[in-house]
Structure 1
């Protein structure tokens, strides 16, 4: 009994340390965001005595965080819709509509997962410049779709492979077209996977800095993460306002993790035993 209790404590101790290390930056940022500039200069680590909520309003309006937030909503929303539409259709085709080269195409999607973005960033920038999509919403949306589509296809193919082929065959015998099978059967059955993959894709796009920084050079079209990064130089002498901007950017991510943590875990483990 004592050995079992000791084992549990040995397992809980590093997990507790990891939890503290994860939560502390958010607590510290919140504390700094609610301080005045004077209080931060005097003591940056002490708890704030009086919450200074004006920092959040200044970061949202004066620092341009509101525009960055809207830019991210537009880009991430459109990118996720395209990723789910293309990924689900490709996953259905690769899992239940075998054709010549389908296996090679699936392996190509897997291989694309191992290509770092830094390898293709220069050709991508030149291509986007040549077709006039630099510093535009469609350009960044297409870049996100191209970057994260292999991951989406892989997970959707793995999930759809677990659906019996007899269901598809029975629907085709009843007269349903391929699109009818996809719309009436595969989409409803794949809803849990679509939710999980959609949450992960949204987090990937929302947290991205490198792609958005490369394709959105103007301040007007910056996404939230790029905009928050730029605030460090603009508000180097006003750290509480900068911390307020970081806090605003972190809140949506935190909410998504808390609400969809089960779906995120399912998406991360999808394909481990299927496919």
Structure 2
């Protein structure tokens, strides 16, 4: 019994320290955002005596965070929808169908996972500029799809490869074409993996700064994370307002995790076993 308790403590203490290290910055940011500039200058680390949302309202209205928030929602929603559609179709084809060159194509997609964005950043910017897609929503959406599609295809192909082939054979016997098998059988079966990869892609796109900064140079089309980054220079002497912008950007991610953590875990483990 003593050995079991000791093992539990060995696991619990590092996990508790990790949880504290993760939660503390968010709590500190929320506390700073509710202070006045004078209170923050006098004591940065003390708890605020009179919490107020003036800085959050200022960041949302006057600073323009509401516009940045809307830009991010539009771009992320379109990017994730296109990623799930293309990724699930390609994942089904590579995971369950066999055609000439399928193995080489899958290896090529797998190799694309190891190419950092900095390597393709300049050619991508030139292509987007030549096609007139710079500083447009479609341009940023296509850039996100190009960057995260190999990851999506890899996960969906790995998931679909665990689906018993008897299900596909039965659907084909019933008269379904390949497209019918995808829409009627494989797409519903892949719902857990689609939810998981959709949330991961949404977080990737939401937290991105480099691609958005490259594709959206104008202030009007900035995404939320780029807008928060710009606050560091504009409000370097007004830390509570800057903290409010950071808090606005962090809350959606926190809400997604709190409400979808079970589904994310189920989706990640759904393709780990066959049958």
Q: Same fold, TM exceeding 0.5?
A: yes
For structure 1, the 5+ residue unaligned runs are none
Q: Within 5 Å, which residues of 2 pair with 1:127-206?
A: 127-206=127-206
The alignment's TM-score, normalised by the length of structure 1, stands at: 0.96
Matched residue, 1:60: 60
TM-score (norm 2): 0.96
For residues 205 and 256 of structure 1, the distance between their equivalents in structure 2, rounded to whole angstroms, comes to 14
Could you say which residue in structure 2 is the equivalent of 1:78?
Answer: 78
Deviation for aligned residue 1:166: 1.6
**Aligned CA-pair RMSD:** 1.4
Deviating more after overlay: 103-112 vs 165-174:
165-174
TM-superposed CA distance for 1:98, in Å, is 0.9
Contact 2:192 2:270 in 1 (8 A): no
Q: Distance in 1 between matches of 2:272 and 2:180?
A: 29
Q: Distance in 2 between matches of 1:58 and 1:241?
A: 7
Mind listing any 5+ residue stretches in structure 2 that lack a counterpart?
A: none
Distance 1:271 1:191 in 2: 11
Which residue pairs with 2:25 in the alignment? 25
Is the aligned partner of 1:48 residue 2:42?
no
Q: Do residues 261 (structure 1) and 261 (structure 2) align? A: yes
Partner Cα separation in structure 2 for residue 209 and residue 143 of structure 1? 13
- 1:272–1:171: structure 2 CA closer, same or farther, 3 Å change rule? closer
Q: Distance in 2 between matches of 1:236 and 1:70?
A: 24
Distance 2:102 2:156 in 1: 15
* Cα distance, 1:2 vs structure 2: 2.1
User: 1:165: Cα distance to partner?
Assistant: 1.3
Q: What is the total number of aligned residue pairs between the two structures?
A: 274
Q: Which residue of 1 aligns with 2:248?
A: 248
**C-alpha contact 1:200 1:267 (8 A) present in aligned 2:** no
Superimposed CA distance per residue, residues 182-234 of structure 1 (whole angstroms, 9 cap, x where no aligned partner): 11111111111111111111011001011001111110000000000001111
Q: Distance in 2 between matches of 1:188 and 1:268?
A: 16
Cα deviation per residue 1:154-200 (whole Å; 9 max; x = unaligned)?
Answer: 11111111111121122112211111111111111111111111111
Q: Is the 8 A contact 2:194 2:267 kept in 1?
A: no
Q: In the aligned structure 2, how far is the partner of 1:267 from the partner of 1:230?
A: 35
Counterpart check, 1:207 vs 2:207: yes
Shift in alpha-carbon separation, 1:178–1:170, aligned structure 2, 3 A: same
